Amino acid sequence: MHGQARAGGHVTNFRQARHARLYEDVAAQLREEILSGGFAPGDRLPVERELMSEFGVSRAVVRQATMNLEHEGLVEVQVGAGGGTFVLESGVDTVLRACENLFRHRGVPVDAYLAAKRLLEPALTSAIIEGSGADHQRLLVENLGRCREAVHAGADDRELLQLNLEFHEILIRAVGNPVVEALMIALVRMGVRVPAFVSSVRADWQHILAEHEDLLDALRRGRKARFTRLMLAHLDTVGGIYSDEVPQPPPPDPRGMCSGSAPIGSSA
């Protein structure tokens, strides 16, 4: 090891950068130190001149390396008095950035996005039912209240789409598994992060709101089979959001599968 860099009492051992793209080598070593716990969330990385000395590189290389880490969601660069490069809490945003890069760089079509949602989201229905409690359902009620207000106020499609996706995020959080949460919420958010998807959004938001109310009713009552059927039907409706034509509500279910929703804010 070349030497030791100190930041707030933290000691690390770095070797001089060797790869042709020096900033990638520097970023890789700093990334490993962060991911292995050498730097905790909130820690400040060594200042530029210390990193320049330890890695044997220029200021430009150090800055490019930290920019890469910032883009990955691992650090945040703060300017001004008391500024520096600080380690961020790891979470969904890190996965979100990677997914957005993949979707936009490869040009993932909306059909592939919708197929992934239809494949994965229904698989979580049992875990959502089992993990949902009063606090979780309160968040869903609050979301539906904001969505109803936005629909009545004539909000634009992007705002209503964001509220729709937030409802799905809240559902996913009931699973209680951080891996599932990070991956699935990142997938859900692609629906509003990818410009090519958002540009074609059109929907009957009143109908989508009604479907969300039915989902909440089934969740409250713990009816797994009904909740799963409603989720599959709702994902078909969601698919219509990204089409050129506004989806029409399906005919009433003769079995009453989608009827009998409890008023929002009332108990089951």
In tens, the pLDDT along 169-214 reads 999 999 999 889 888 998 888 888 888 777 767 778 999 999 999 9
The pTM of the whole model exceeds 0.95: no
CATH number at residue 36: 1.10.10.10
When mean pLDDT is compared across 115-119, 182-186, 237-241, 250-254, the lowest value belongs to: 250-254
53 and 100 belong to one structural domain: no
In a domain, 258, yes or no: no
123 and 199 belong to one structural domain: yes
Q: Which of 87, 119, 153 is the last residue of a domain?
A: 87
105 and 69 belong to one structural domain: no
101 and 202 belong to one structural domain: yes
Half-sphere exposure of 213 (CA within 13 A, CB side): 21
Q: Determine the Cα–Cα distance for residues 209 and 18; give it in Å rounded to an integer.
A: 56
103 and 128 belong to one structural domain: yes
Instruction: Say whether 206 sits in a helix, a strand or coil.
Output: helix
pLDDT at residue 74 is higher than 90: no
CATH number at residue 102: 1.20.120.530
pLDDT (tens digit, 9 = 90+) per residue, 2-57?
A: 455 555 556 566 766 666 689 999 999 999 999 888 999 899 999 999 999 999 99
Token pair, residue 62, equals: 């150090």
pLDDT of residue 263: 43
Q: Which residue has the tokens 């945003």?
A: 93
Instruction: Say whether 121 sits in a helix, a strand or coil.
Output: helix
Instruction: Give the chain's mean pLDDT.
Output: 83
pLDDT of residue 1: 40
48 and 114 belong to one structural domain: no
Phi-psi domain of 252 (left: phi exceeds 0; alpha: psi -120 through 50; beta: other): beta
28 and 41 belong to one structural domain: yes
**CB-CB contact of 25 with 19 (8 Å):** yes
Q: Which residue has the tokens 């990385």?
A: 45
105 and 202 belong to one structural domain: yes
Of residues 182 and 248, which shows the higher confidence score? 182
In a domain, 233, yes or no: yes
Q: Which of 44, 69, 87 is the last residue of a domain?
A: 87
Q: In total, how many domains does the chain have?
A: 2
* In the chain, % of residues over pLDDT 70: 82
Domain that holds residue 186: 92-241
67 and 132 belong to one structural domain: no
Q: Which one, of 162, 187, 164, 268, lies nearest residue 221 by Cα?
A: 268
Q: Determine the Cα–Cα distance for residues 9 and 12; give it in Å rounded to an integer.
A: 10
pLDDT (tens digit, 9 = 90+) per residue, 58-71?
A: 999 999 999 999 88
